[in-house]
Structure 1
Amino acid sequence: MRMAFAVASSSSAISGPSFSPSNACSEPKALQLAPFRLLDRTHGQSSVLNLSQRRCAVKPLNAEPKRNDSIVPLAATIAAPEVVEKEKVEAEDCEQLAKSLVNASPLEIMDKALEKFGNDIAIAFSGAEDVALIEYARLTGRPFRVFSLDTGRLNPETYQFFDTVEKHYGIRIEYMFPDSVEVQALVRSKGLFSFYEDGHQECCRVRKVRPLRRALKGLRAWITGQRKDQSPGTRSEIPVVQVDPVFEGLDGGIGSLVKWNPVANVDGRDIWNFLRAMNVPVNSLHSQGYISIGCEPCTRPVLPGQHEREGRWWWEDAKAKECGLHKGNIKQEDAAQLNGSGGDANGTATVADIFNSQNLVTLNRNGIENLAKLENRREPWLVVLYAPWCPFCQAMEGPYVELADKLAGSGVKVGKFRADGEQKEFAKSELQLGSFPTILFFPKHSSHPIKYSSENRDVDSLMAFVNGLR
């Protein structure tokens, strides 16, 4: 296993334009960076590590033996001073800390995390836009550590990006690998692509969750790139800091691991503006339409009108789009919704309805059944099968309502049918529902509805579909 840690080092040990801790600490004035403010540092502050005076041995994430110095450069084995007090952080402490940082910038949150946990915290880097975390860590002037999960099924572009990031920052990323015996057993028994048939959870558990569990057992805290706008169904309420609800840390037991989410309150567009402003390297897959990047078989580009998370596990329901690394985001009521229950008396989630327009007809069960039975309709119909809690339905709400307005008076009726909860099985068996949203066109002289097969849900594409059939 490649054992190395991403930390700051002296310019004599690492070449390149990244930074030098001594230089970062010698300037007493605050550095103004767009909307972010780098905290004041002086030579007299004990929290700043003077690498020429203080060095300590690295403690690997998963407590395995260190590799030989001939393999791991000295610069990559310099760590922050040990934290003297290692008392367990209580949930109340994290809640109070989260409240105090709710309006803080990502830079301030990152600085607080690194200051508080020193060498016992690490950044989880996926190879996507969370490279912003590494940039924020660099700007604090503190030593930092980075690890990543190599599932063995990442895109070639992602592996190339890892190498670029290491060279750009003069660091070494610690890669965590799945257990070869477990991977071999899974592939031999179920094949290479079983997740397309029975869901991604089993494969993710072997290739991602268990390696992450090993990594976190060597830490007291970790830093993630989760944002609230990434997945409205599962991440809309994540705080900037919390007691990890799923994994255990170095001391073991509940409350032994703290989870930091410095960019939780940041809009995705602002992340990208920051990356461009700082000239930070990015994964080349982004220029090909990929936004959320995971394993190659389970990731695809996002098309117009789609939410960014829809590029992941696209064959599954919206609320299942967590791999298990952030399983604590899924609430109990969400889990019930995944099983087609929970919410109100009808088994549907009690959330605000969507696709509201005077030019849209709301169909109930009887209405959609009658529409499906008609063989000679006076007008063709376009109907969306949706669930209001689905982030992908929410993402196409604007284009669909605009389409309904454009088709008003054209001879084409536009409708909607809520197909979650107790209506889900009916929609699957009778209305070709695969995942939300599903769009059907009911021709004027045919009883058989035509399913819109494209994932492109912008107004022009939907209009082309209607015009080609009416």
Structure 2
Amino acid sequence: MALAVTSSSSAAVSGSGFSFSSSSYELKAPQIGSFRLSERAVNFSKRRCSVRPINAQPKRSDSVVPFAANIVAPEVVEKVEAEVEVEDYEQLAKELENASPLEIMDRALEKFGNDIAIAFSGAEDVALIEYAHLTGRPFRVFSLDTGRLNPETYQFFDAVEKHYGIHIEYMFPDSVEVQALVRSKGLFSFYEDGHQECCRVRKVRPLRRALKGLRAWITGQRKDQSPGTRSEIPVVQVDPVFEGLDGGSGSLVKWNPVANVQGQDIWNFLRAMNVPVNSLHSRGFVSIGCEPCTRPVLPGQHEREGRWWWEDAKAKECGLHKGNIKDENVNGNGNGALHANGTTPTVPDIFNTQNLVTLSRAGIENLARLEDRKEPWIVVLYAPWCPYCQAMEESYVELADKLAGSGVKVGKFRADGEHKEYAQRELQLGSFPTILFFPKYNSRPIKYPTEKRDVDSLMAFVNALR
């Protein structure tokens, strides 16, 4: 594995496949751009991961990320494991909640040394590399090459390597698995049956292999990227999904230094530091993934709407951060997990307000059949166990209150269980929640086309059609 590492001197490690670049300055607590590193960032805990010097010469290995296993002596592994186990990361997340990204990055690199790496996606994650560079500490960078990235993304990788004097670690999917998928289902099966299977082969499994060689990783997740799945991510956590070098639950720590940073502030930082950016950004691409699954977004659209757009309101996650989804009873197709007797879990109902009409099966059928309605309706097709329905409850209830007395009726129809097949066949249900507008003098309902479900966006949809 080629590692991206920086240190205080420029040197090439013979036979290791690693390069080291340098920062020729000393990190100072005062101002770095518009960011300040507090004294706490400098006077961190004395505990460090005891590894050999970063310029030690490890054995050559064809595996990519598990370099750390080659440079840590067995007795040191036991010591590091014990230190990681006793750390209270929930408490640490609270302590760092208001810390700057630079301070969080410095804390992560100081604590885990060569056992941590930055996950670089080829988009605005370059901010993570810049923060790591500013700490003056050695750091590693890896990226998942799915084989289906845009040419501009590969050019961006090259520009980043040259700018920072590093070598990015590239992880590739298993060729046999890709071959089997393409031969059996074609190159674009994800347009028909969802992106999860392709992402699992090309991204999730390579990531799993990469993380097995680490004790911690650094991501560019932000709370504002996806309100449905990322709104509560902490700045540091025990990874709820993947395993690290020591194996087992709790063996991997996940750092999210920019969790509390707004996208606009990230871009202000990138411009201020004059770092390379993906040229696709200048053409309307905000969130960048594989070429077939990414498109530009229009003004006013949420950045994640450019990803897997054909899936409408499904969760915009590929599986790399599926731990963000709290309710594990929800699968990738928007279906609730069934009990052994075939029924869905019993959970409290949602969207409860006096200004909202609960439609029965007969009620929604009658509404759908009407060709000359006296008033328009907006109706949500939902399942109370669905976390994305739960996430939009507040905004939808507020919408109902705002539209009270306006001549627009607001309704809800529970479309899971025995009603799901009907909703899929007759009401355009693809995933939960699905929102429909039933206009006057027209029998065909109009489907709300975006996952942006704040009250202003919903109101704009209604006002444009009523």
Partners of 2:327 and 2:131 lie apart in 1 by 34
Q: 1:35: Cα distance to partner?
A: 4.0
The AA in structure 2 aligned to 1:427 is A
Displacement after TM superposition at 1:297 (Å): 1.6
- Residue identity in the other structure for 1:186: L
C-alpha distance in 2, partners of 1:431/1:119?
53
Gaps of 5+ in 1: 48-52, 68-79
**Does 2:1 correspond to 1:5?**
no
Instruction: Describe the superposition over 1:317-371 as per-residue Cα deviations: whole angstroms up to 9, x where unpaired.
Output: 74543222222222335527931469xx9968658649x897xx64523443322
Structure 1 residue 425, shift from structure 2 partner: 3.7
Please, which moves more after superposition, 138-147 or 324-333?
324-333
- Relative distance call for 1:454 and 1:3 in structure 2 (3 A) is same
Q: In the alignment, is the contact (CA less than 8 A) between 1:106 and 1:263 conserved in 2? A: yes
Q: 1:283 to 1:349 in 2, by over 3 A?
A: farther
For the residue of structure 2 that corresponds to 1:222, the secondary structure is strand
Q: Which is further off, 382-391 or 313-322? A: 382-391
The answer for the alignment partner of 1:377 in structure 2 is 373
When the two structures are superposed, what TM-score results if normalisation uses the length of structure 1?
A: 0.76
Distance 1:184 1:456 in 2: 33
Instruction: Choose the corresponding residue for 2:429, options 433, 457, 466.
Output: 433
The one-character-per-residue Cα deviations of 1:361-400 (angstroms, maximum 9, x if unpaired) are: 64523443322222333345555556795389959969x9
Q: Which residue of 2 aligns with 1:197?
A: 192
Separation in 1 of the partners of 2:97 and 2:127?
19
Amino acid at match of 1:137: A
1:165-185 superposed Cα distances (whole Å, 9 cap, x missing partner): 122222221111111121111
Aligned ranges 1:24-423 → 2 under 5 Å: 24=26, 30-37=30-37, 55-57=55-57, 63=63, 85-88=79-82, 89-90=84-85, 93-304=88-299, 306-316=301-311, 318=313, 320-333=315-328, 335=330, 338-340=334-336, 353=351, 362=357, 364-365=359-360, 366-381=362-377, 383=379, 385=381, 389-390=387-388, 394=392, 401=399, 413=408, 415-422=410-417
**What are the superposed Cα offsets for residues 249-300 of structure 1, whole Å, 9 maximum, x if unpaired?**
2222333222111112222232222222222322222233322221112222
Shift of 1:103: 2.2
Distance 2:276 2:369 in 1: 56
Distance 1:138 1:60 in 2: 26
Root mean square deviation of aligned Cα: 4.4
Structure 1 partner of 2:465: 466
State the distance in 2 between where 1:286 and 1:102 align.
Answer: 29
Using the TM superposition, give the Cα deviation of residue 64 of structure 1 relative to its aligned residue in structure 2, in angstroms: 5.4
Instruction: For 2:121 and 2:274, locate their aligned partners in 1 and report how far apart those are by CA, in whole Å.
Output: 19
Q: For residue 330 of structure 2, give the secondary structure of its aligned residue in structure 1.
A: helix
1:97/1:384 CA distance change after superposition, 3 Å:
closer
Distance 2:391 2:36 in 1: 34
CA deviation vs aligned residue, 1:169-211 (integer Å, no higher than 9, x gap): 2222111111112111111111111122222222112111121
User: Could you say which residue in structure 1 is the equivalent of 2:25?
Assistant: 23
- The answer to whether the Cα contact below 8 Å between 2:305 and 2:451 also exists between their aligned partners in 1 is no
What is the TM-score of this pair, normalised by structure 2?
Answer: 0.76
User: Are residues 287 and 87 of structure 1, via their aligned partners in 2, closer, same or farther at CA, if it must alter by over 3 Å?
Assistant: same
Overall identity of the aligned pairs, in %: 65
Cα separation, partners in 2 of 1:243 and 1:455, compared to 1, 3 Å:
closer
Task: Give a deviation string over 1:411-455, Cα, whole Å, max 9, x none.
Answer: x73534345544544322222223456554545445x31435865
Q: State the alpha-carbon separation in 1 of the partners of residues 451 and 211 from structure 2.
A: 39
Report how far residue 22 of structure 1 moved. Answer: 4.4
The whole-number CA distance in structure 2 between the counterparts of 1:335 and 1:177 is: 29
Which 5+ residue runs of structure 2 have no aligned equivalent?
A: 13-19
Greater shift, 449-458 or 127-136, is seen at: 449-458
